[in-house]
Amino acid sequence: QKEVEQNSGPLSVPEGAIASLNCTYSDRGSQSFFWYRQYSGKSPELIMFIYSNGDKEDGRFTAQLNKASQYVSLLIRDSQPSDSATYLCAAPSASYDKVIFGPGTSLSVIP
C-alpha cells in the first residue's frame, strides 16, 4: 500500500461547483498534512496545511482531517477555471525523516 494515496483523476467539475479532492494515508502517526497546487509546467505552491481533526477554512478552500479514518480532503467552493491544476497531498512520516507526497489529483474546471 502506498503511504499517501489520491485519486489520480482527472476530476472535472463545472465552474461554480464544489470540487472535492481526497487523500488517504497509511502512517497512523502522521500529524500534519499539506495540500499543494501545481499548474502544468510550474512548481508546487502551498494551498493549505492542517494539523488538527476537523475543518480548516481559508477563503474558498476548506481542508478536512479525520485522523481516525486516516483521511484528509480539500474542498474548493465556487470552482474557477483558474483552479484547474494538479493537487498534491503531502505528509511528513511519523518519524519526521521524510516528506511523502501523493501522486496528485488532476482537476479540470469547465467554464
> Closest separation between CB of residue 70 and other proteins, Å?
17
CA pair distance 56, 63, nearest whole angstrom: 5
* Beta pairing partners, 92: 99
Q: How far is CA 75 from CA 2, 72, 99, in A?
A: 23, 10, 23
> Closest separation between CB of residue 39 and other proteins, Å?
12
9 vs 92, beta carbon nearer other proteins = 92
28 vs 111, beta carbon nearer other proteins = 28
Q: Which residue ranges make up the site for other proteins (CB under 8 A)?
A: 31-32, 34, 36, 42-46, 49, 88, 90, 92, 96-104
44 vs 83, beta carbon nearer other proteins = 44
The neighbour count for residue 44, using CB atoms within 10 Å, is: 18
> Closest separation between CB of residue 31 and other proteins, Å?
7
User: How many residues can be counted in the chain?
Assistant: 111
